[in-house]
Amino acid sequence: MLLNLRPLAERFVKAKVGNVLKASFWFDNWTYKGPLIKLLGNVELRPLRIPLNAKVADAFDASGWRHPLPRSITADSIFALLSSLPAPLPHLDSDCYFWSMNGDASQGFSVAATWEGFRRRSSLKGWTKSITFKGAVPKHAFTMWIANLNRLPTLHRLLSWGLINSAECCLCSVDTETRNHLLLLCDFSSQVWMLVFLRLCPRQRLFCSW
């Protein structure tokens, strides 16, 4: 399962090069543009004269970064990127790897920070504060969230799934049990809401639609 998560984790694991004897030239995330293998695209590796299993040290010699004659725009951009990087020095510390969040090295691994880093975010919903607020009961907040998305397992939905034979409201036995009917329009629900609103101060107007 951990191996299957490599595509998610690779952008968080970065290599800090020192003497460049350990970091992989093509696969490690040691440049500011990420792993070079992703920049390579469909360009053949042979003209670049840097093997697939090469370390960063294999692309550097006494004269500097090895620059064979580029035969494509992609290869030219890779060697232009190398030219902008500082030269590795043998007296530096060994290459090391660290967990990076938002481009900064983390002091330690945090599940919460990592989850916030790669999860997809949606725009803030207008009904958020009606569901999650200080003092909210988790069970009630969850039910309200499901109801607001119209995902409650009402009899109308269960009937559409073929799980039951009738979608008659279980409270009034008059209409189809949908979310709006069950929570707002049913005679039983209307009486409950009326009693609730009578106790509110100031008085609120009854609502009849979600």
Map out the domains of the chain as residue ranges.
3-118, 128-199
Confidence of residue 64 (pLDDT cuts 50, 70, 90): confident
For the chain, percent of residues with pLDDT exceeding 70: 88
Helix (H, G, I), strand (E, B) or coil at 51: coil
Confidence of residue 205 (pLDDT cuts 50, 70, 90): confident
Q: pLDDT tens for residues 128-186? A: 888 988 899 999 999 999 999 999 999 999 999 999 999 999 899 989 999 999 999 99
How is residue 31 written in tokens? 């440049």
pLDDT at position 136: 92
Exposure string of 37-64, with b = 16+ CB inside 10 Å and e = fewer, is eebbeebeeeebebeeebbbbbbbeeee
Q: Which of 40-49, 79-88, 112-121 has the lowest mean pLDDT?
A: 40-49
pLDDT at position 124: 83
Average pLDDT, the chain: 81
**How far is residue 162's CA from residue 160's CA, in Å, rounded to a whole number?**
5
Once rounded to an integer, what is the mean pLDDT over residues 187-205? 86
**How far is residue 151's CA from residue 206's CA, in Å, rounded to a whole number?**
24
Once rounded to an integer, what is the mean pLDDT over residues 30-55? 74
**How far is residue 206's CA from residue 184's CA, in Å, rounded to a whole number?**
10
**How far is residue 36's CA from residue 45's CA, in Å, rounded to a whole number?**
12
Most confident segment among 52-66, 98-112, 151-165: 151-165
Residue 102 has pLDDT above 80, yes or no: no
